[in-house]
Structure 1
Amino acid sequence: MGDRNRETQGIIFSLKEQGEQNRIVTILTPDHGIINCVLYGGPKSRLRSMVQPFNRGNLYLYTDNIKHSVKIVDFDAKKIHMSLRENLYKSWAASLGAEIVLKTKCAGDPQKAYILLSALLDGIDAVNEDEARLGMLRFLWRYLGLLGIQPDVRECSSCGNSLLSKEHESSYVESHNGFVCGDCLPYSDGRIQHEANLFTTDIHSITYLAAINELSPGKVRELILPAESAYRLKRLLYHMIEKSCGTKLETLESGAGIL
């Protein structure tokens, strides 16, 4: 960021007090990834009132090459996301999305990470809590795709038969990073059958994941996922995303009873 004045899009992640009046603001931008900027001004500052977690818009920045710091000059907030402050689940879901992006360093692609997180925040802000929970599952699955570790949901990783043509259960096998159909699992080696991280899924779960990849976002939002299937997917996707981060996610630990 060598230019002294610069405009960029950004999602406000967090704010940390610096002294009595100033704050350090962590921001996700599509062109520079994660950046930290200084926000000057007291509690009555208009700019300070707009620079709040998960607000998104155009940031106007000034780079001080002597102090090696970046100052927020102005912020034109395009999305405010009021319900994220009013609904406990949505607030924690937004924090989880932000932590995943931070821990994975935008999955090496700030622009796509920015698009995915923007879609998550806009989506959960616009719907009720039950729909927001499904939106979180879609974000996690798509982010696994961005990380390049999304397993194939169409075929059994053991026999190659379709997982979408039978009603019986299948299981995600972590050592394979793939799904094994119910016909193959009983004949798998003992190591797989007794694997600690063996997650059972059903036809509804598998079909939903395939639909996320193949249908438009609007069409996927119209799909109904049974509560038990959604719970299974949540357990699986939380586990997979945490493994991909290489560390425990603080949001999942602290918000265990909410998320």
Structure 2
Amino acid sequence: MGDRNRETQGIIFSLKKQGEQNRLVSIFTPDQGIINCMLYGGPKSKLRSLVQPFNRGSLYLYTDNIKHSVKITDFDAKKIHMSLRENLYKSWAATLASEIVLKTKCAGDPQNSFILLSALLDGIDAVSEEEARLGMLRFLWRYLGLLGIQPDARECTSCGTSLLSKEHDIYYIENQNGFVCSDCIPYSAENLRKAAENFKLDIHSITYLAAINELTPGKVRELILPAESAYKLKRLLYHLIEKSCGTKLETLESGAGIL
């Protein structure tokens, strides 16, 4: 048995105090998912100043196989994401995204989860809060796709007609995990009851979901989504992502007035 050094890409998730000077660091990596490593050194340490939540870069790790411990020896921080510490919404959004990754065990696909989360953090760091809010909706929808439970945003789950062909209300029906057009609702008492209990979207919000899947990220960012449509979409996506986690999301509860 021996000691070894290695390098990995990682996003810092959290730091927990261990003793007077040291920290236990939770790190999201594309190859191993979530790992925990020790960070040694006082508050004036350069390494300590770089290893902060949501920073991303190359981590240099030293594994002691005898003590069964891993420590951070260096961190080449490629992305610092300063605005995530300066803007309250962005900070909470990043925390919510990291909680989702943790509770879904990286959606069983740490490499693609890492790509999605990296894109979210880079994106919301570079834009206004208003644009960051839309960026979070796109992340949630894409993450549902990674989990394999993203509803079809193009066709009515009852009749199969296009949901994008005309301007009308669309209802998300929970027990079908799908969207139903307004024409189908009156023909089914069950659908009518479910529609009253579930979520209603408009043509703008359903078109936005379809666009996320079909257009390049740059093109989707150019789309304008009315505030009311964005609110309806947020309610639905928060519900779906929390359901996929199988438990209440602490960040959603604590940050209800912010998120």
Q: TM > 0.5 between the two?
A: yes
1:195-210 to 2 correspondences below 5 Å = 197-210=197-210
Quick one: distance in 2 between partners of 1:3 and 1:240?
44
Q: Deviation of residue 186 (structure 1)? A: 1.5
1:83 and 2:95 matched: no
Quick one: distance in 2 between partners of 1:170 and 1:13?
37
Q: Which amino acid aligns with 2:12?
A: I
Q: Deviation of residue 67 (structure 1)? A: 1.3
Quick one: distance in 1 between partners of 2:162 and 2:5?
55
SS at match of 1:167: coil
Q: Deviation of residue 187 (structure 1)? A: 1.5
Q: Which amino acid aligns with 2:70?
A: V
Q: Which amino acid aligns with 1:133?
A: R
Q: Deviation of residue 196 (structure 1)? A: 6.9
Which position in structure 1 is the counterpart of 2:47? Answer: 47
Q: Which amino acid aligns with 1:138?
A: R
Q: Which amino acid aligns with 2:252?
A: L
Quick one: distance in 1 between partners of 2:176 and 2:219?
30
Q: RMSD between aligned alpha carbons? A: 1.2
Q: Which amino acid aligns with 1:80?
A: I
Q: Deviation of residue 137 (structure 1)? A: 0.1
Quick one: distance in 2 between partners of 1:246 and 1:113?
18
- TM-score (ref. length: structure 2): 0.97
Gaps of 5+ in 1: none
1:6 and 2:9 matched: no
Quick one: distance in 1 between partners of 2:66 and 2:44?
29
1:34-73 to 2 correspondences below 5 Å = 34-73=34-73
Which position in structure 2 is the counterpart of 1:152? Answer: 152
Which position in structure 2 is the counterpart of 1:136? Answer: 136
Which position in structure 2 is the counterpart of 1:218? Answer: 218
Gaps of 5+ in 2: none
Which position in structure 2 is the counterpart of 1:126? Answer: 126
Quick one: distance in 2 between partners of 1:234 and 1:224?
15
Deviations 1:157-195 (A, max 9, x none): 000000000101010011000000000012223366246
Query: 1:238/1:197 Cα in 2 relative to 1: closer, same or farther (>3 Å)?
Result: farther
- TM-score (ref. length: structure 1): 0.97
**How many equivalent pairs are there?**
258
Q: Which amino acid aligns with 1:75?
A: F
Quick one: distance in 2 between partners of 1:13 and 1:192?
43
Quick one: distance in 2 between partners of 1:23 and 1:247?
28
SS at match of 1:4: strand
Q: Which amino acid aligns with 2:251?
A: T
- Give the percent of matched residue pairs that are identical in Structure 1 and Structure 2: 83
Which position in structure 2 is the counterpart of 1:184? Answer: 184
